[in-house]
């Protein structure tokens, strides 16, 4: 049982807590009442604000809508006014631009094109909105007039500023790479830069807005004329330079062109001079026939104008390629892309046709030369043909995209030249074989025949054109003629393209054929001489000339391709003719030969018959010696080495026989007048023989 004191304390404690809880509850009740009052006040305020907002919205929205309508109306008015101004401006375009159009675009192209743009827009407006208005006709007329002025300006700019390329600049362009180790790029300025930009703008306007392609015809006609004139100017430059100084010139360095031009020879494509120089070298060794010989080099007096024409044509071909390349570069800036190839094709026609016609004229001249057996003239075809073949890849590249007829012109000319060249080669070989045996045409001194020198000269001139000549022969399927089988490895897919080795073998066979024909003809001609010794000297001279000519050039190597023993064969022929010649002295040496001398005993008096026989031997020897020396003195052996060799050999034979003869009979009393029969000492006989083959002795 809880004590009373504790129970009382417990009750007081519970009563205190209850009192605190009641106070807390009273506070919470008061707070809730205040919160409810505040909530009611807030709801009242919000309700009032909402009411006011609704009233404000009802007042503002009509005003806003009215303002928006007013703004729209204002914008419409402004747009209408702007459109009216724009439309009205079209009615003033003709008036505003008429003066500019009338004065033309010269010197103010930018302003002029701006005016044309305004006129074009006016035309479009009236066509769309008022097609029947007089204003449309007016601006149309003004537009057409402006377009015509632009076309005229295009023509004027092209005409006034298109200049032909000078021959000096062309020579720099085409010969710089070959002649200088370091060559500055030679740029061709066909039009000044400012003019070029004006031309480009006009052309683009005419294409885009003028709907006009006539200016392209104007362009190619003007540029075609300049291209043609440039090439003709180069050709004329060659002619004038050759007639005045003999050497066309080109400055070595472009930036010194105006101040320090330096003359330099243009590379000569032909080998005529080379062959003639070889012949001059032979002359120094006695092959010119100056010692009793005749004129052996009729081709050396060949007209130099032929070489000039050849050089000019070759350089004109190179010039065409370079200038055409430059023209195409210029054209791509001015002519629309889809018209460039056609325009370029038209542009180059005159110059290209001129080259082709001149080439065909060369072929025609060669054909006529073949008929009259002037084969030296035909040789001009060789350097030209070689150059055309070398230039063909560049030609083909330049002519890409042109018509087939344009592309085929050069191959057609090459074929014509190959055909006429092959014809010349075959006719030359036949001419060598069938050259008539005319007595009046034979050298009286037995020197080298003109036919021989001409044949060798012709063959030497083929050396620099081995591939060209071989291709000529191959193009005519001459392998069958020479019985040379065609190896598939030696030919390409093209029927006219052969390996250099095959061409060399074919040319070697041809040269051997010519030399064989020449040898047969010489044998036939030698029969014209009544004296077998002179005939032998004639054949010796010609064989020796042929051999020395072959050895002093590359012909011997070319002959050896198919005839390994040719050199030995000629040496044998030469030796045979020397032996034949030496037999002519038998009628002299037979008189003093020991086998024909009378036998007698020393100290025994000679009988009259023996004395007479000795006298006849001396007289026969003396007369024969004098006769042969007189006759053979007028003969010729142009080769000093061979001449000395033959003299020395004959001198040794005769002197030895005569020395032995004198030794036996000089002390024999076969006559009272020994000086009558012993006319010559041994050394005198040698001196007489030393004067053989020497008309000046």
Lowest model confidence (mean pLDDT) among 127-131, 376-380, 488-492, 601-605: 488-492
Query: 297-306 contacts: CB < 8 A, separation 24 or more?
Result: 297/453, 297/457, 298/450, 298/453, 298/454, 299/272, 299/376, 299/454, 299/457, 300/276, 302/272, 302/376, 304/242, 304/246, 305/242, 306/377, 306/380
Q: 């000019």: which residue's tokens?
A: 312
d(CA 348, CA 223): 9
- Please tell me the predicted confidence (pLDDT) of residue 534: 95
Give the CA distances from residue 83 to residues 55, 77, 78, 625, in Å, rounded to whole numbers and listed in that order: 43, 10, 9, 130
Contact 411, 400 (CB under 8 A): no
Mean pLDDT of the region 559-584? 94
- Please tell me the predicted confidence (pLDDT) of residue 275: 42
Q: In which band, very low, low, confident or very high, does the pLDDT at 615 lie, cut at 50, 70 and 90? A: confident
Question: How many other CB atoms are there within 10 angstroms of residue 400's CB atom?
Answer: 10
Sign (positive or negative) of CA dihedral 578, 584, 585, 591: positive
Mean pLDDT of the region 335-351? 93
The DSSP letter of residue 261 is -
Residue closest to 459 by CA, chosen among 299, 275, 280? 275
pLDDT digits (tens, 9 = 90+) for 402-422: 999 999 999 999 999 999 999
Q: In which band, very low, low, confident or very high, does the pLDDT at 257 lie, cut at 50, 70 and 90? A: very low
**DSSP-derived secondary structure for 77-135:** HHHHHHHHHHHHHHHHHHHHHHHHHHH-STT-HHHHHHHHHHHHHHHHHHHHH-TT-HH
Q: Is 179 a residue whose pLDDT tops 80? A: no
Q: In which band, very low, low, confident or very high, does the pLDDT at 295 lie, cut at 50, 70 and 90? A: very low
pTM of the model: 0.72
d(CA 159, CA 191): 10
Q: Is 343 a residue whose pLDDT tops 90? A: yes
d(CA 31, CA 40): 14
- Please tell me the predicted confidence (pLDDT) of residue 190: 87
- Please tell me the predicted confidence (pLDDT) of residue 1: 65
Q: In which band, very low, low, confident or very high, does the pLDDT at 572 lie, cut at 50, 70 and 90? A: very high
> To 10 degrees, what angle do helices 532-551 and 566-582 make?
150
- Please tell me the predicted confidence (pLDDT) of residue 481: 44
d(CA 539, CA 533): 10
With pLDDT > 70 as the criterion, what percentage of the chain qualifies?
81
Lowest model confidence (mean pLDDT) among 471-485, 547-561, 572-586, 590-604: 471-485
Mean pLDDT of the region 283-311? 49
Mean pLDDT of the region 370-393? 90
Q: Is 511 a residue whose pLDDT tops 90? A: yes
**DSSP-derived secondary structure for 295-351:** ---GGGG--HHHHHHHHHHHHHHHHHHHHHHHHHHHHHHHS-HHHHHHHHHHHHHHH
Query: Between the ranges 75-84, 132-141, 145-154, 499-508, where is the mean pLDDT highest?
Result: 145-154
- Please tell me the predicted confidence (pLDDT) of residue 510: 93
What integer best gives the mean pLDDT of the chain? Answer: 82
Q: In which band, very low, low, confident or very high, does the pLDDT at 305 lie, cut at 50, 70 and 90? A: low
Q: In which band, very low, low, confident or very high, does the pLDDT at 289 lie, cut at 50, 70 and 90? A: very low
Tokens representing residue 16 in the block: 């205190």
Q: In which band, very low, low, confident or very high, does the pLDDT at 302 lie, cut at 50, 70 and 90? A: very low
Lowest model confidence (mean pLDDT) among 241-250, 296-305, 318-327, 513-522: 296-305
Q: How many alpha carbons lie under 13 Å from residue 23 in its C-beta half-sphere?
A: 6
89 burial class (0-12, 13-18, 19+ CB within 10 angstroms)?
middle
Helix locations, 439-561, DSSP H? 450-461, 466-475, 478-481, 500-526, 532-551, 555-560
Q: 């002093």: which residue's tokens?
A: 552
Which residues, listed in sequence order, are joined to residue 479 by a DSSP beta bridge?
Answer: none
d(CA 422, CA 476): 7
- Please tell me the predicted confidence (pLDDT) of residue 301: 39
- Please tell me the predicted confidence (pLDDT) of residue 439: 59
Better-scored residue on pLDDT, 340 or 279:
340
Residue closest to 451 by CA, chosen among 571, 371, 538? 538
- Please tell me the predicted confidence (pLDDT) of residue 436: 74
Q: Is 299 a residue whose pLDDT tops 70? A: no
- Please tell me the predicted confidence (pLDDT) of residue 255: 36
Q: In which band, very low, low, confident or very high, does the pLDDT at 278 lie, cut at 50, 70 and 90? A: very low
Contact 688, 672 (CB under 8 A): no
Tokens representing residue 131 in the block: 């097609």
Mean pLDDT of the region 209-222? 87
130 burial class (0-12, 13-18, 19+ CB within 10 angstroms)?
middle
pLDDT digits (tens, 9 = 90+) for 67-99: 888 888 778 877 765 665 556 667 777 778 888
Q: Residue length, the chain?
A: 697
61 burial class (0-12, 13-18, 19+ CB within 10 angstroms)?
exposed
**Which residues neighbour 474 within 8 Å (Cβ) at sequence distance 6 or greater?**
496, 498, 502, 503, 506
Lowest model confidence (mean pLDDT) among 410-419, 456-465, 475-484, 669-678: 475-484
Mapped onto helix, strand or coil, the DSSP state of residue 266 is coil
- Please tell me the predicted confidence (pLDDT) of residue 49: 85
Mean pLDDT of the region 350-361? 95
C-alpha torsion angle, residues 518, 520, 522, 524 (rounded to 10): -150
pLDDT digits (tens, 9 = 90+) for 35-47: 988 998 888 898 8
Mean pLDDT of the region 553-571? 92
- Please tell me the predicted confidence (pLDDT) of residue 290: 37
pLDDT digits (tens, 9 = 90+) for 52-68: 888 888 888 888 788 88
d(CA 95, CA 234): 53
Q: In which band, very low, low, confident or very high, does the pLDDT at 176 lie, cut at 50, 70 and 90? A: low
Q: Is 115 a residue whose pLDDT tops 70? A: yes
Q: How many alpha carbons lie under 13 Å from residue 306 in its C-beta half-sphere?
A: 23
Tokens representing residue 541 in the block: 């001279």
d(CA 249, CA 247): 6
- Please tell me the predicted confidence (pLDDT) of residue 674: 80
- Please tell me the predicted confidence (pLDDT) of residue 612: 86
Mapped onto helix, strand or coil, the DSSP state of residue 13 is helix
CA 124 distance to own-chain centroid: 55
Which residues, listed in sequence order, are joined to residue 498 by a DSSP beta bridge?
Answer: 491
Q: Is 522 a residue whose pLDDT tops 90? A: yes
- Please tell me the predicted confidence (pLDDT) of residue 620: 92
């Amino acid at each position: 049982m809880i004590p009373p004191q504790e129970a009382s304390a417990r009750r007081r404690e519970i009563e205190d807590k209850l009192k605190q809880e009641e106070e807390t509850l009273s506070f919470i009740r008061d707070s809730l009442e205040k919160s409810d009052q505040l909530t009611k006040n807030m709801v009242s305020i919000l309700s009032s604000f909402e009411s006011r907002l609704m009233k404000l919205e009802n007042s503002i929205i009509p005003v806003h809508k009215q303002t928006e309508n007013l703004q729209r109306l204002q914008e419409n008015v402004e747009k209408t006014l702007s459109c009216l101004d724009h439309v009205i401006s079209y009615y003033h375009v003709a008036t505003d631009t008429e003066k500019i159009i009338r004065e033309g675009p010269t010197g103010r192209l930018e302003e002029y094109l701006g005016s044309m743009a305004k006129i074009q827009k006016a035309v479009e407006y009236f066509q769309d909105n008022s097609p029947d208005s007089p204003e449309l006709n007016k601006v149309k007329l003004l537009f057409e007039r402006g377009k015509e002025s632009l076309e005229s300006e295009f023509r004027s700019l092209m005409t006034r500023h298109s200049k032909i390329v000078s021959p000096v600049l062309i020579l720099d362009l085409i010969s710089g790479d070959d002649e200088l180790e370091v060559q500055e790029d030679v740029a061709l300025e066909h039009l000044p830069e400012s003019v070029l930009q004006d031309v480009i703008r006009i052309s683009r306007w005419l294409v885009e807005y003028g709907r006009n392609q006539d200016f392209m015809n104007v362009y190619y006609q003007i540029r075609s004329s300049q291209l043609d004139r440039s090439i003709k100017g180069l050709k004329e430059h060659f002619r004038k330079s050759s007639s005045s100084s003999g050497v066309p010139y080109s400055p070595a360095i472009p930036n010194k062109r105006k101040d320090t031009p330096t003359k330099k020879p243009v590379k000569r494509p032909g080998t005529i001079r080379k062959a003639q120089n070889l012949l001059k070298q032979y002359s120094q060794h006695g092959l010119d026939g100056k010692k009793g010989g005749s004129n052996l080099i009729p081709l050396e007096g060949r007209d130099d104008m032929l070489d000039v024409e050849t050089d000019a044509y070759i350089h004109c071909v190179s010039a065409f390629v370079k200038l055409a390349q430059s023209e195409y570069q210029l054209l791509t800036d001015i002519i629309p892309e889809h018209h460039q190839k056609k325009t370029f094709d038209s542009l180059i026609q005159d110059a290209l046709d001129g080259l082709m016609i001149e080439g065909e004229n060369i072929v025609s001249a060669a054909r006529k030369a073949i008929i009259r057996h002037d084969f030296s003239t035909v040789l001009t075809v060789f350097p030209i043909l070689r150059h055309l073949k070398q230039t063909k890849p560049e030609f083909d590249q330049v002519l890409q995209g042109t018509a087939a007829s344009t592309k085929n012109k050069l191959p057609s000319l090459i074929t014509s030249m190959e055909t006429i060249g092959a014809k010349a080669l075959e006719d030359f070989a036949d001419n060598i074989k069938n050259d008539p045996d005319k007595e009046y045409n034979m050298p009286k001194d037995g020197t080298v025949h003109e036919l021989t020198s001409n044949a060798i000269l012709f063959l030497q001139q083929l050396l620099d054109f081995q591939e060209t000549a071989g291709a000529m022969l191959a193009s005519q399927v001459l392998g069958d003629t020479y019985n040379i089988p065609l190896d598939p490895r030696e030919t390409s897919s093209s029927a006219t393209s052969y390996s250099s080795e095959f061409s060399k073998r074919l040319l070697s066979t041809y040269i051997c054929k010519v030399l064989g024909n020449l040898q047969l003809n010489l044998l036939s001609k030698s029969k014209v001489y009544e004296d077998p010794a002179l005939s032998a000297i004639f054949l010796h001279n010609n064989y020796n000339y042929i051999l020395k000519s072959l050895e002093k050039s590359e012909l011997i190597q070319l002959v050896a391709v198919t005839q390994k023993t040719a050199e030995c064969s000629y040496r044998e022929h030469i030796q045979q003719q020397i032996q034949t010649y030496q037999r002519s002295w038998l009628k002299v040496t037979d008189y003093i030969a020991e086998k024909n001398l009378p036998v007698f005993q020393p100290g025994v008096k000679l009988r009259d018959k023996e004395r007479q026989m000795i006298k006849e031997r001396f007289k026969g020897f003396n007369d024969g010696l004098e006769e042969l020396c007189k006759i053979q003195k007028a003969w010729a052996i142009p080769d000093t080495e061979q001449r000395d060799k033959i003299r020395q050999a004959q001198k040794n034979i005769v002197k030895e026989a005569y020395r032995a003869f004198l030794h036996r009979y000089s002390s024999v009393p076969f006559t009272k007048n020994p000086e009558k029969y012993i006319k010559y000492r041994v050394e005198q006989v040698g001196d007489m023989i030393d004067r053989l083959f020497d008309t000046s002795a």
